[in-house]
Structure 1
Amino acid sequence: MAPLIPRMHLFEIDDQPWFPPALRTLFQAALTVTWTLPLPIIQSCPPAQVVARVLLKELGQDISDYNFVDFCAGAGGPTPFIENHINAHLRKRHAKAVNFTLTDLHPNVQHWESVAVASPNLFYESKSVDAIKAPRHLVKPADGKKSMRLFHLAFHHFDDCLARRILKDTVESSDGFAIFELQDRSIASFVAVTLLAIGTLILAPYYALKWRSPLALVFSWLIPILPAALAWDGYVSSLRTREPDEVEALLRSCGTDTSDWEMRSGSTVHLWPVGYVNWIVCRKTS
């Protein structure tokens, strides 16, 4: 069933050039915690683990045939956690490990360096990467593997025109893409965003200790810009997020042959009753 709320491409604070870099760093770090921090008792598993399980299930034994490129990686997001979970699973099966590469239009090299040293299968591209025209050395790797593009909490940022251009470049140069969102155009999603903002207030001391940044306390408790920005952007992200059939319509109208591309989608709970990972996995079948 189509959502009752129409898609609206409103502005998000984190997209704006005037948003201070220090606050953007805290904003992205808070989203990473949302992806990866397990909440005992009330949460079955963190969203990043859901993503890893979806990729393992949907790609099956073919997963070792792929290299994964994370577009719009920000501060790293869930990808290091996903890489660790997937490769730990593959090692148990005595299967080949898979590589993940972090990229972004505005690369966060300093932070990516710190997470990449923890795994021999996690890499990053230090130069700016535009998803409209991805560098061929990323999507056509020298090792001959297939390329799977990842969009974690990112695809809703693109308007229809930009999304079509990204999908066209994907079809012409890659072998698949996967979109993962933590929101949709539903009342439950708006409730989940509200809980995120409240959680940011409660967890501000944890953030300050984890990131060694007193600014997390200042901008959460004294001047509550961080929870307010997370709430606003979360609500707007919900309004921006496309349903699978809307993404497929963009794919089929992107201006290149997509007849041999197959799309699968689903919604997997991580925090009942309002927290869901909404996913789309699309790949070339020939």
Structure 2
Amino acid sequence: MKRIHLFEFEDFHWFPNFLRMSMTRYILTMHRLLGSADDVAQLLAPVLKRTSTHQIIDLCSGAGGPMEEVKQVLETQYDFSNLSLTLTDLYPNTEVAAQINAQKDPNLSYLTEPVDATNVSKGKEGLRTMVCSMHHMRPETAQNILRAAQQDRQPICIYEISDNSLPFILWWLAIPTSFLMVFFLTPFVRPLSFRQIIFTYLIPLLPIFIAWDGAVSNARTYTLADWDEILAQLPSDNYTWKKGIIKGKAGNKMYLIGEPV
């Protein structure tokens, strides 16, 4: 397996939440620039139609990611009406959950109780999604997440903004470039807080953490060959898997989709 499991700063419980939120806002900016919402919507639309479901259960949502925008794209560009999106996490982000739930949208919510991606409770049927979060999981956990979807006969879509096909050393050589990019892209972050500015330009902690976590995320991303190794241990008589690469100007993205037969 090419994928290696190193640490990311934002995974640590002791990591200051205001820095984690600042990093999350920067990552959301990257998602907008890379067109992640369009990519994910394009992947989800045919699955939603084939499975006749209007419910999306986002797993490991963290600070929400691009899924709200994905829902908007599906409604406006793919004509999905009454589409429901539920964000979940084993450790829900209470601040983001409060902001989302305050919108009083009956078709959009963030559950404040913990949801284990390896054991999603009954009553949460729908298309499961994991956007740039599966790389945080060790192989055994990743396999259990896929097995749970298969056993529950629910479709699942995994999406990562890297396919980890480049030689390992290149991810580390890219750290200086990623460090410098933070200074240029931070003005596009929304909302742009004073903390984001201070810890980017005056005390450059965010560029360091973002550059490191970005390189590690790429190294932790499962390759298509890695998925073959994991899926080989799952039965395939009542469930189908499709994996591939989405090619883009800013690099390739990886996806894995599972559906019940």
**Could you tell me the TM-score, scaled by structure 1's length?**
0.80
Which residue of structure 1 aligns with residue 57 of structure 2?
Answer: 69
Whether the aligned pair in 2 keeps the contact of 1:186 and 1:238 (CA below 8 Å) is no
Counterpart CA distance in 2 for 1:174 and 1:192 is 40
1:156-199 CA deviation, whole Å, 9 max, x = no partner?
A: 11111211222222211242111100113234984877655433
Q: Name which of 241, 251, 262 aligns with 2:231.
A: 251
User: Counterpart of 2:253 in structure 1: which amino acid?
Assistant: V
For structure 1, list consecutive stretches of 5 or more residues without a partner in the other structure: 39-44, 140-146
After TM superposition, the structure 1 stretch with the greater mean CA deviation from structure 2, 183-192 or 130-139, is 183-192
Corresponding position: 1:114 with 2:102: no
Q: Does 1:165 align with 2:144?
A: yes
Tell me what 2:71 maps to. 83
SS of the residue 1:215 aligns to: helix
1:18 corresponds to 2:18: no
Aligned residue-pair number: 257
**Corresponding residue of 2:184:** 202
Report the counterpart of residue 47 of structure 2 in structure 1. 59
Task: Kindly indicate whether the alpha-carbon contact (under 8 Å) linking 1:179 and 1:280 is maintained by their aligned counterparts in 2.
Answer: yes
How many Å separate the matches in 2 of 1:103 and 1:130? Answer: 9
Report what 2:258 is aligned to: 282
Q: Tell me, yes or no, if the aligned pair for 1:101 and 1:124 is still in contact at 8 Å.
A: yes
Structure 1 residues 168 and 59, CA, compared in 2 at 3 Å: closer, same or farther?
A: closer
Deviations along 1:211-255, one digit per CA (max 9) or x if unpaired, are 25211111111122112111111111111111234224323425x
Contact 1:67 1:100 in 2 (8 A): yes
TM-superposition CA deviations, 1:11-49 (whole Å, max 9, x none): 11111122111101111121112112x4xxxxxx61211
The answer to whether the 8 A contact 1:74-1:104 is kept is yes
Shift of 1:6: 2.5
Determine the structure 2 residue equivalent to 1:100. Answer: 85
1:261 equivalent in structure 2: 239
Q: Give the % identical residues.
A: 26
Change in 2 beyond 3 A, CA 1:148/1:197: farther
Question: What is the one-letter code of the residue matched to 1:200?
Answer: V
8 Å Cα contact 1:155-1:163 kept in structure 2: yes
Shift of residue 118, structure 1, vs aligned partner: 7.4
Aligned equivalents of 1:203, 1:130: Cα separation in 2: 34
Q: 1:9 aligns with which of 5, 9, 19?
A: 5
Give the root-mean-square deviation of aligned CA atoms: 2.5
Alignment of 1:132-147 (within 5 A): 132-139=118-125, 147=126
The aligned residue for residue 35 of structure 2 is 46
The answer for the alignment partner of 2:195 in structure 1 is: 215
CA contact (8 A) 1:90 1:96 kept: no
Alignment of 1:154-193 (within 5 A): 154-187=133-166, 190=171
The separation in 2 between residues aligned to 1:153 and 1:69, in whole angstroms, is 15
| TM-score normalized by the length of structure 2 | 0.87
Counterpart contact for 2:2–2:222, Cα < 8 Å: no
Structure 2 portions without partners, runs of 5+: none
